[in-house]
Amino acid sequence: DAKTTQPNSMESNEEEPVHLPCNHSTISGTDYIHWYRQLPSQGPEYVIHGLTSNVNNRMASLAIAEDRKSSTLILHRATLRDAAVYYCILRGYQKVTFGIGTKLQVIP
Amino acid sequence: DTEVTQTPKHLVMGMTNKKSLKCEQHMGHRAMYWYKQKAKKPPELMFVYSYEKLSINESVPSRFSPECPNSSLLNLHLHALQPEDSALYLCASSPGDRLLRDNNQPQHFGDGTRLSIL
């Protein structure tokens, strides 16, 4: 099964951009890359997803490498409310593979 | 507030008890999921229902028994659990696809049931 690798933790200053990396070197052609975040005592919240092209939405941007073996979630201006665990996930047909998650700390 | 509602929020049970976890959504989604999450770990997929039929069972022990009585409801029946089954149990839903090719669909998660086995 495809796996994802993420740093355990990262720090960012408030109102600065944040780049959260994810490696998925064994990704298959039909796997979509999804990102979710989870606050304490809450369920995961969808952030963004993509297949090959870079994607933007109101929450974040997703940059996908040309060979699809890595991706980066970009938060353009971190706020204190963005402090959470961010999961990089590969979703294939009938399978879901979560990474270990990156705990993002936002410093005021 | 989430659009996927899970009850109860907390549950403490003994190893000989029988209990059920409930999940409800009214978004018209036809795929529903159960995950187990241990502390400081990512969620692990347990079961997937697609159009009310079980489509994935990730080798979960038989002491966990899922049920999907209709398109809005998902239950997880628990019996003879072990202390290591203590965890946060998360339910999620997505629009679904009859050909099971729903990997481009976001999932909506509930806030989970925190289960403690004594």
Q: CB under 8 Å to A95, separation ≥6 — which residues?
A: A1, B45, B56
Q: Token digits for B26?
A: 């009214």
Mean pLDDT of chain B: 94
Q: CB under 8 Å to B17, separation ≥6 — which residues?
A: B78, B79, B81
Q: In the predicted model, is pLDDT for residue A2 greater than 80?
A: no
Residue of chain A whose alpha carbon sits nearest to that of B96: A94
Q: How confident is the model at residue B100 (pLDDT cuts 50, 70, 90)?
A: confident
Chain-chain contact of A44 with B43 (C-beta, under 8 angstroms): yes
Instruction: Measure CB to CB from residue A43 to each of B44, B106, B112 and give the nearest one.
Output: B112
pLDDT confidence of residue A74? 98
Summarised one tens digit per residue, pLDDT across range B22-52 is: 999 999 999 999 999 999 999 999 999 999 9
pLDDT confidence of residue B101? 87
Edge-to-edge order in the sheet of strand A70-75: A18-23, A70-75, A61-64, A55-56
Nearest to A93 by CA among B56, B25, B44: B56
Q: How many beta-carbon pairs below 8 A join chains A and B? A: 51
Chain-chain contact of A92 with B107 (C-beta, under 8 angstroms): no
Residue with tokens 């079980």: B54
% of chain A surpassing 70 pLDDT: 98
Q: Token digits for B25?
A: 């959504």
Nearest to B21 by CA among B111, B104, B82: B111
Q: How confident is the model at residue B2 (pLDDT cuts 50, 70, 90)?
A: low
Chain A residues whose beta carbon lies within 8 Å of the beta carbon of residue B44:
98
d(CA B15, CA B80): 5
Q: In the predicted model, is pLDDT for residue B18 greater than 70?
A: yes
Q: CB under 8 Å to B19, separation ≥6 — which residues?
A: B11, B13, B77, B78
Q: In the predicted model, is pLDDT for residue A77 greater than 60?
A: yes
Decide if B13 contacts B81 (C-beta within 8 A).
yes
Picking from B55, B97, B103 by the largest number of A CB atoms within 10 A of its own CB, the best residue to mutate is: B103
pLDDT confidence of residue A1? 62
How many CA atoms does the CB half-sphere of B118 hold within 13 Å?
6
Chain-chain contact of A41 with B100 (C-beta, under 8 angstroms): no
Instruction: Measure CB to CB from residue A92 to each of B55, B103, B110 and give the nearest one.
Output: B103
Chain A residues whose beta carbon lies within 8 Å of the beta carbon of residue B104:
32, 49, 51, 91
**Exposure of A59 by Cβ count < 10 A (0-12 exposed, 13-18 middle, 19+ buried)?**
middle
Chain-chain contact of A46 with B107 (C-beta, under 8 angstroms): yes
Decide if B28 contacts B94 (C-beta within 8 A).
no
Mean pLDDT of chain A: 94
Summarised one tens digit per residue, pLDDT across range A34-57 is: 999 999 989 999 999 999 989 999
CA dihedral B24, B67, B41, A48 (to 10 degrees): -50
Mean pLDDT of A98-105: 95
